[in-house]
Amino acid sequence: MEPKRSRSEIKRQAILDAAKQAFLEQGVQGTSMDRVATLAEVSKRTVYNHFESKEALVMCLIGKLWQQAKHQQGGEYDPDVPLHGQLRSIIVAEVEVISSTEHIELNRVAFGHFFYHPDALKQEIAKLSAHESSLVRWIKAACADGRLIDLDAATAGEQVHHLVKGRCFWPQLLQIEPILKPEQQLELAEQTTAMFLSHYQAASLED
């Protein structure tokens, strides 16, 4: 059972939900803190007690999105299960988050804001990079178990992220391609898994 949230936590979440709605409808520049307060049904002072500026709201929302994409639940390495199925499950979870309509639309809004605030974007990326992703932890464990060749786990993880985002995020963010259908998401995860293991799986222990 989830722990009961305090009134402050409930109000903070209401503010975040309201900001997300307003940003998607009107963009960051077109949204005022008064509008956020109205949608959240709290006072403007309460909004500022939780977030000192509109930019802080943007940073919090986008940080949560990126954390969700990078740190899915599960994905623990299992020495007794074939690598292909384990890795594919991790990638499927990431693809589902990254290619969701909400994720793409809110990122589009945020990047429109970050275009004019590049230093803020760099800081947020630096904070995210400081935390190890589920995928990187899995790669390290598989390497330690001798089932992957010796490699730099962080670099290998970034390669996977680039392969995935090149198909299900960047084209959609730029509105060049439509959002992937579920079967296309599974195909992308399967292809990415096969490509990764064909390059990094230890030859003597191929599944």
Residue pLDDT, tens place only, 124-178:
767 666 667 889 999 999 999 999 999 999 999 999 999 999 999 999 999 999 9
- pLDDT of 187 reads 98
Range in 7-11, 83-87, 106-110, 118-122 with the lowest mean pLDDT: 118-122
Residue 113 pLDDT: 75
Residue 107 pLDDT: 83
**Across residues 82-95, what is the average pLDDT?**
95
Q: Taking the CB of residue 47, how many other CB atoms lie within 10 A of it?
A: 24
Nearest by Cα to 153 from 200, 204, 91, 98: 200
Instruction: Locate the domains of the chain by residue range.
Output: 1-52, 61-205
Output the 3-class SS for 105-163: HHHHHHHHHHCCCHHHHHHHHHHHHCCCCHHHHHHHHHHHCCCECCCCHHHHHHHHHHH
pLDDT at 29: 81
Q: Which residue has the higher pLDDT, 12 or 115?
A: 12
The yes or no reply on domain 1-52 and CATH 1.10.10.60 is yes
Instruction: State pLDDT tens for residues 196-207.
Output: 999 999 986 555
What the block records as the tokens of 63 is 């940080």
pLDDT tens column, 34-82: 999 999 999 999 999 999 988 788 888 877 877 777 666 568 999 999 9
pLDDT reported for residue 201: 97
- Spatial distance between the Cα atoms of 127 and 193, rounded to a whole number of angstroms: 27
- Region of poorest pLDDT, from 36-45, 73-82, 84-93, 111-120: 111-120
| Contact present, 93 and 164 (Cβ < 8 Å) | no
pLDDT (average), residues 11-17 = 94
**pLDDT score of 109:** 80
- pTM confidence score: 0.80
Backbone angles phi, psi at 72, to 5 degrees: -70, 160
| Distance of alpha carbon 132 from alpha carbon 64, whole angstroms | 15
**CATH 1.10.357.10, domain 61-205, yes or no:** yes
